[in-house]
Structure 1
C-alpha cells in the first residue's frame, strides 16, 4: 500500500503527480483509499494540515457538482459492503473528539457527506445517537459540541442539495426532529456563544426540512423564540446568523409569520438603527425577502383576478412591507447617507443594502412609496452636504420602479432641472448616482420628461460621456441607450425623421470617442457605449440612412483592428473577444436597417471578417457573429448562397456546440434565417445540418433550451426545400412525436413554461413540413402522421396550462392541414371532431388579436372542408 501521508503531503503543495496518484488510487481501490484517508484523519500526532486534507479528499470522493457524476459517486459508495463502510464511519465519528477544533470541523464536513447519502435510506443508525450524545453530554468539550452541531447543519444542507437526484429521498421526519432538537438546544441562551453560532448556522441549513415542525405551533414557537433570542446575543456573529435565519424563515414559512411579526419588526428596526454593519445588513435582508415573497404573491393575485378566480388562502399576501413602510422608510433613507467612497463597485455595504431594500419595497407597495420618500428627496437634493444630495437622488432612483407613471410623473417632471444640475456635481459619486437616476427615468418614465428639456438633457448626457469617471461615463451611455429605446415603437422603415435625427451624428461621434478611451474596459464603459450605438442605429429614421452607410466602413475598420490585436494573457483575450462581439452586433443592426444596394460593395469583406471571427477556438463572440450573418442572409436573400460553402463548416461546428448551448441556439436560428433567405438553395447542405440537428435532440446532456429551436428548424428546412424534405420526413416526424409526449407536473411552473415552448415549436415544425410538402407536391407522404398529430392536438385542447402561443400555433396547423389535405376523407373525419371546433372557438376569443384572426380563418377553412361532399 502506498504511503498516504507522503502522497497527501505532496498533494498539499499542488504536486500533479500526487494528485494523479490519489485519483488512480480512488478509481482502482475506492474502499482502501477511503479507509486510509479516515485513518489519516483519526490519527492524533499526524500533521493537522494533512489530516484536514484527508477529510476534504474523503468528502470529495462522494461529492460532485455534476448531477450524473454525483449519482455515480453515491452509487459507488453504496456498493461497498456494510463492513467496509462502517470501517470508515466509526473513526470518522471518533474524530469529532479530537482536541484540535480544525480536525473536528473537517471530520464533521466529511461525515455530513456520508450522512446525506445514508440517512434518507435509514442507514448509519449510529450517526444521530452519537451526535446527540456529543451535543448533550456534560463531558463533551465545546469543540465536540460545535463539530456535532455543524455536522447536523451540513447534513441538512447537503441533503437539500441532493434533492434533485433521481433516487433522492427526504431525511425521515424522526431524524429531522432529533436533529432539530439538538440544533435549537444549541441556539438557546444558556449555550456558549461559539456553540450558538454553530447552531444558528446549522438551523439556517435545516429549515428547508422543517415544514411539519412549523405546522405545529408549540414547535414553531420554540424555533422562533430561540432565533429571536439569538438576535440579542452579545456576539455580533450570532446576531448576524440569527437574522439570516429569520430571512430564510420568511422565504420558506411566510404563512406562519403573523404571530411573530411584531417582535421581528422591532428586532430588525433596532438592528438597522444601531447594530454593527453585518447585523444591520442581514436585518435589512429579512425585509428584502419579505418583499420578494410578497411581489410573487401579489403577481399571483393579479393573475387570479384576471381569470375571475380568488387566490387560495395559503397564497395570499399579508402586506407586511406596506404595514412597515412608515417606520422602515426613515431607517433606510438614513442608510443611504452612509456612502463609502473607497468601496469597490461590487461591495455590498450598508448603503447598498439600504438601496436594494428601498427598491424592493417600492416594487412591492408601488404607489404607496411616494409619500414617505419624496419629502426627503425634495429637502436634500440641493443640500450643501454631498452625502445628503447623493442620498436624495439615490432615494428617488430607488422608487422609480414601482409606482405607476401617472403617480410618479409629476415628481419626475419637476426633478429634471435639479438632476441636470446634479449631473455636473463636483463629487463623482453624486454624478454617478445622478446619471444612473436619469438612465432609469429614461427607461421607465421617459414620457414624463418635459419636451423642452430634451435638448438640454441630451447635451448633458453627451458631455458626461467624457466624464473623468468611467462609472459616470458608463451611466451616461446607458441613459442615452434607454432614451433611444423609447423611440423603438416609432422606428419603422416609413418614418422619415424623429427627435433624435438632429443629434444622431454628434451622438455617434461622442460614443465612438468613449470606445477609444484608455479606461473603456472599466465599469462596463465600452459595452455601454457600443450598446448605445446599436440602439441608435435601430431607432434611426430614414433621414439618417446616409450616416448609417458611412458607419458601416467605420465598423469594418474597427473590427479589422480588433482581429489583429495582440494578446498576452487571459484578460487581453477576453477584452479582444468582447470587442469583436460588440462590433459584430453593430454589423447585425446595420444590415437590419440598410438596403441591399447600400451594402453591395462591402458585404464580401464583412463576411470574410465574420468568418475570421468564427475561426477562433472557444471564442465568446461566435454568437454575435452568427447573429450578424443571419442579418446579412435576411438582407441578401438568394444572393447569400455564394457564402454557403465557406460558411458551412463554421455553421456545422456551431450546431455541434452542445456544451455551449447558447451558441448552439444562435447557430440553429442562423440555419432558419438562411433557409428563409436562400430557400431551396439550402438543399445541398441539408444532409449534414439535419444529422447534427437530430443528434442534438438525441443528446441527453444538452440543455433543454436547445430543443425547441431545433424542432422548429425542421419546419424551416422543410418549407425551404419543399418535396426534397422527403428523406428526412420519417426521422423528423418520429422525433416530433417523441417530443410531443413531454409532460410537466402541475406544480412545476418552469417545466410547464418549457413544455409550452416545446409544444409551440412542434406545432410550428409540423406547419412548415405541411407547407413544404404541399409546395413540393408530396403531401401524400404526410398522411400517415395526421392521426397522431390530431391526437396531439386533442391533448393540447384539454390542457389547462396551455398558453396562447401554443393555441395560436395549434390553430395555424389545423388550418393548414384542412386547407392542404381536407379533401382526403381520413383527414376530414379527423379535423371534424368536436374538440377541433371547440379549440378554434376558444382561440377566436383569445386576448391576442393575431390568434383571433388566425382562428377566424381556420374556422372558415374547417367549416368549408367539413361541409363539402
Structure 2
C-alpha cells in the first residue's frame, strides 16, 4: 500500500503539466511520509519502490520553477537521511556533485543542489557520511563558492551549504592545505567587491563565526595582524587576516548585519577564551588579550548611538551588542581592559565639559559593562573616581544618560558592594535611586527598582536571625513608601514595571532589620486596602495583566509573612496588624478560588498556584490566628487534589503542602478534617495515572497527619503499615537513574511517615504500646537500607532523624535488640554526609549513646 502510494505521488510531482501548487503539495506529502517511516520497514525498504522514486525525483532537482525545486530539495535531503546510514546514497551524492561541478548546468540547478547539501548536513549526524562522501560534497561546495564563481546566487548557496557542513569536515580542517583553502573561500566571500552582495557577505561572516566556535585551535595562523605576529608558517601562501577583517567589519561596514556579526565574532572568541582560561585548556592563543587595544575603541565608537530614541527591550542593536562584547572582553582580559577604557571615559565624560549626550551615555555604559571582569581591588579606585559623575548623571536632562547612569549604578552595587559600606556614598546612592523611582521614564523607574533589589541583597544579614538596625535601616521606611506610592497609581499595561515594584518591596522587607516594623505598621494598611479593592475588581473582570500583577503582590505579601514567622519577638510586634490584614487577604483569596472554578486556563492555574503559596505562608506565619479560615479553606484544598483532566500536578503538590502546613502548625484545626485528608492522600497513592512525584509527597504527609492526630491516629495504623510495607518492596533498576532517584524518595517518605506515627502515637502510653508491635519490623527494614551504600543524603538524614526520635520514644530494651553497633558504624562509614546530615547524626548519637 505504501509503495503504491509513493509511486503515485512521484508521478504527480514529475508531471510538469500540473500546477506548481499541486506538485509542491505532493512533494511535501511524500517528504512527510518518508520522514514518518524513517526506518528499514518504511517506504524505501522496498528496493523496487526506492528505484522508482529516485529515478523520478533526482532528475527533478533540475526543474525550473524554483518553488517546486525547493520542495524537491527537501524531499531529496530526507531520502538521503534515510539512505546514508544504510550505505545506499551514492547515487544521491553523485547527482548533487554533478549538478554543481558540471559547467553546462544552469545557475538554478547548482543553487538547488547546494541547498540540498545544506539540508542534508543540517539534519544528519556528521559520523554517518563516509570520508569519500564528505570529500565529494565539500569539493562541490568549494567549487560553488570559489572566487572564480561569477554567479553570486550560486556562491551564496555554496556559502550557506558550507555553514551547515562545517561540523562534517573536521578531517579536512586537520589538513593545513585544505583548511587554508576553506578559510580563504570564506574570507573572499566576506570581502566586499564589485560582484559581491551584502547577503553574501552576511552569510560569509556567519560562516566565519561558526568556524571560530568549532575550530578555535586552528585559528592561530589566520589571526595574524600588524599589531602582533604569531604566524609560524612563513610560507603561508594566502594572505588571510581574520582579526583585521572583523575589526574592519565593526568599524567600516555600512550594513548593520555585518557590524553585528563582526561584534559576534569577538564575543565568540572571548567566550571561548574565558572557558579555556577557567579550565586551563590548550591551546590558548589569547587573541582577545593581544588585540584588546584595538577592540576597545572600536566597540566604544559602536556604543555611541546615532538616534535620540529609546529602543524596545527586545531589540538587539549595535550599541547593545557592543556593550555585551565589551563585558565579555572584560571577563576575558580582566585588569588589562581598565587603563584603555578609563582613558576613553576620561575623554568622553570626566575631563570634557561640552560633550554630547550620546558620548556621555556610551562612556557611562562602557564603565558599567566592565565591572564584572577585573578584580574588586583593581576596580575600587576607578569606581571611587567615577561614582560622583555617575550619580550626577542620574539627574541629567537627557533620558538616555539618566537610564545609563542608573543602570551603571546598579552594576556598581552588584559588583562592588564595598561602596555601600561608606555612609556618605550610600546616602548619595539611595538619593539617586529614589529620584529614579520618580523619573518620567518607565525604563528609568524599572532600573531604579532593580537597583533597590540589589542594594537590599548586598546589605542583607543572616537569613535566620533578625537584628535591630543596619546600614539600610534609615532609608527603609521612605523607600517602601515611595514604592507603594508608585504602585498606587499603576497602569495595568505597565506590568513589567509593576513586577519590579513588588519585587523591590519584597527584597527590602526580606532583607531588612527589626526597624522595618514601624514602617510596615504605617504603610501596611494603605498597601492592603489599595490592592484588595483594585486587584480584586480587575481579577473579577478577567483582566490578564491584573492576574499577573496579583501574582507579584502575592509573592510580596508572602515574603512579609515569612519575616513575621522568622522570630517570635518580631511576630508579636506585628501580630495585631497581621490579623487585620489576614481577613482582607483571605477574602481576596477565596474570591480568586471561586473565580477559578469557572475559568480554567494556564493564566488562572498559575494564579491559583500563587494564592495557595500565599495561604501556606500565612498558615506558617500567623499560626493559631489562621484557624478561623481552615473550615472554608479545606474544601478548596480537596478540589485542588482531585484528579481532573489536564490538571497541573503541581497544584496537587500544593494541596498536599497545605495539609502538611495545617497539621504541623494548627493541629487542633486539622483534626476535624483528618478523615478527609487521609482519604485524599490514599486516593493519590492508589491512582496510577497521577504524576509520579505526588507519591512520595503524599506518603510523607501521612506522618504530618499522624503527628497532628496523636493517639487518635490509631484506627489508621494498620492501613498505613500495609502501605509502608508495599512501598518498602519497591526496588530500582540500577541502570535506570530516574527510577533509582524515585525509589530513594519513596524510602525517605516512608521513614518520614513512620516518624510522624511514632511521635503522634507516642503521646499516649496505650497507643504507644500498641504501635510498638510494628516498630521492630520497620527497624529491620531500615537496617537493610543501611547496608546499601547507594543512599542519598536525604535518605541518610531521614534515617538519622528516625534514630533520634526512636531513642526518645522507645524503651531501652528495644534499642538494644534493633540498633546494634553495626548499624551505627555502617551509617558512619564511606558515605558522603552534608553538614546538615552531620548535625542530625550528632544529635541522634547523643540520644542513643547513653543507652
Closer, same or farther: CA 665–282 of 1 in aligned 2, 3 Å: farther
1:407 has 2:388 as partner: no
8 Å contact kept, 1:149–1:198: yes
Question: What is the match of residue 206 of structure 1?
Answer: 165
The 3-state SS of whatever aligns with 2:147 is coil
The 3-state SS of whatever aligns with 1:346 is coil
What does the per-residue CA deviation read over 1:382-412, in whole Å, with 9 as the maximum and x for residues that have no partner? 5511111011011011111222322212222
Q: 1:282 aligns with which of 261, 268, 290?
A: 261
In structure 2, distance between residues paired with 1:813 and 1:559: 42
Pick the structure with greater CA Rg.
Answer: 2
In structure 2, distance between residues paired with 1:219 and 1:857: 69
Question: What is the match of residue 558 of structure 1?
Answer: 531
Q: 2:549 aligns with which of 579, 582, 596?
A: 579
In structure 2, distance between residues paired with 1:475 and 1:213: 50
Question: What is the match of residue 343 of structure 2?
Answer: 375
In structure 2, distance between residues paired with 1:657 and 1:296: 46
Question: What is the match of residue 743 of structure 1?
Answer: 737
TM-score normalized with structure 2 length: 0.80
Question: What is the match of residue 617 of structure 1?
Answer: 600
Question: What is the match of residue 412 of structure 2?
Answer: 441
1:721 has 2:706 as partner: yes
Cα offset for 1:522? 4.4
Cα offset for 1:428? 1.6
List gaps (5 residues or longer) in structure 2: 225-240, 565-570, 708-712, 762-770, 808-813
Q: 2:207 aligns with which of 231, 238, 245?
A: 245
Q: 1:632 aligns with which of 618, 625, 629?
A: 618
Closer, same or farther: CA 695–490 of 1 in aligned 2, 3 Å: same
8 Å contact kept, 1:581–1:624: yes
8 Å contact kept, 1:658–1:664: no
In structure 2, distance between residues paired with 1:553 and 1:686: 41
In structure 2, distance between residues paired with 1:668 and 1:212: 57
Cα offset for 1:319? 3.6
Cα offset for 1:633? 2.3
Q: 1:468 aligns with which of 436, 440, 453?
A: 440
1:187 has 2:145 as partner: yes
8 Å contact kept, 1:120–1:172: no
8 Å contact kept, 1:493–1:542: no
Cα offset for 1:358? 0.9
Question: What is the match of residue 567 of structure 2?
Answer: none
Cα offset for 1:280? 2.1
Q: 1:360 aligns with which of 316, 325, 328?
A: 328
Cα offset for 1:130? 1.9
What does the per-residue CA deviation read over 1:107-130, in whole Å, with 9 as the maximum and x for residues that have no partner? 223332343344334355532222
What does the per-residue CA deviation read over 1:420-474, in whole Å, with 9 as the maximum and x for residues that have no partner? 2111222221111112111222222232144213233223322222222211121
Cα offset for 1:622? 3.1
Q: After alignment, is 431-440 or 212-221 more displaced?
A: 212-221
Closer, same or farther: CA 485–656 of 1 in aligned 2, 3 Å: farther
List gaps (5 residues or longer) in structure 1: 1-28, 64-69, 164-168, 302-312, 745-753, 797-805
8 Å contact kept, 1:672–1:713: no
Question: What is the match of residue 274 of structure 2?
Answer: 295
Q: After alignment, is 776-785 or 393-402 more displaced?
A: 776-785
Question: What is the match of residue 432 of structure 1?
Answer: 403
1:630-709 to 2 correspondences below 5 Å: 630-637=616-623, 639=626, 641-652=630-641, 673=661, 676-678=664-666, 681=671, 683=674, 684-689=676-681, 691-692=683-684, 707=693
1:257 has 2:219 as partner: yes
The 3-state SS of whatever aligns with 1:99 is coil
8 Å contact kept, 2:10–2:57: yes
Q: 2:823 aligns with which of 813, 823, 831?
A: 831
Question: What is the match of residue 540 of structure 1?
Answer: 512
Question: What is the match of residue 270 of structure 1?
Answer: 248
Closer, same or farther: CA 258–604 of 1 in aligned 2, 3 Å: same
Question: What is the match of residue 391 of structure 1?
Answer: 362
8 Å contact kept, 1:488–1:539: yes
In structure 1, distance between residues paired with 2:215 and 2:31: 32
Question: What is the match of residue 779 of structure 1?
Answer: 775
Aligned residues, how many? 772
In structure 2, distance between residues paired with 1:556 and 1:110: 64
Closer, same or farther: CA 206–532 of 1 in aligned 2, 3 Å: same
Question: What is the match of residue 190 of structure 2?
Answer: 231
Cα offset for 1:574? 3.3
Question: What is the match of residue 310 of structure 1?
Answer: none
1:742-821 to 2 correspondences below 5 Å: 742-743=736-737, 764-765=748-749, 767-769=751-753, 771-775=755-759, 776=761, 777=771, 778-783=774-779, 785-786=781-782, 789-790=785-786, 792=788, 794-795=789-790, 806-807=792-793, 809=794, 811-816=796-801, 819=804, 820=806
Question: What is the match of residue 141 of structure 1?
Answer: 106
In structure 1, distance between residues paired with 2:95 and 2:581: 77
The 3-state SS of whatever aligns with 1:93 is helix
Question: What is the match of residue 344 of structure 1?
Answer: 312
1:488-567 to 2 correspondences below 5 Å: 488-489=460-461, 494-516=466-488, 521-522=493-494, 524-549=496-521, 550-551=523-524, 554-555=527-528, 557-565=530-538
In structure 2, distance between residues paired with 1:469 and 1:43: 62
In structure 1, distance between residues paired with 2:291 and 2:686: 56
Q: After alignment, is 276-285 or 318-327 more displaced?
A: 318-327
Q: 1:334 aligns with which of 301, 325, 338?
A: 301
What does the per-residue CA deviation read over 1:544-573, in whole Å, with 9 as the maximum and x for residues that have no partner? 3244255266335424432332899xxx84
In structure 1, distance between residues paired with 2:825 and 2:337: 54
8 Å contact kept, 1:555–1:583: no
CA RMSD, Structure 1 to Structure 2 (Å): 4.0
8 Å contact kept, 1:814–1:831: no
In structure 1, distance between residues paired with 2:703 and 2:464: 31
8 Å contact kept, 2:3–2:43: no
In structure 2, distance between residues paired with 1:102 and 1:201: 18
The 3-state SS of whatever aligns with 1:521 is helix
Question: What is the match of residue 430 of structure 2?
Answer: 458
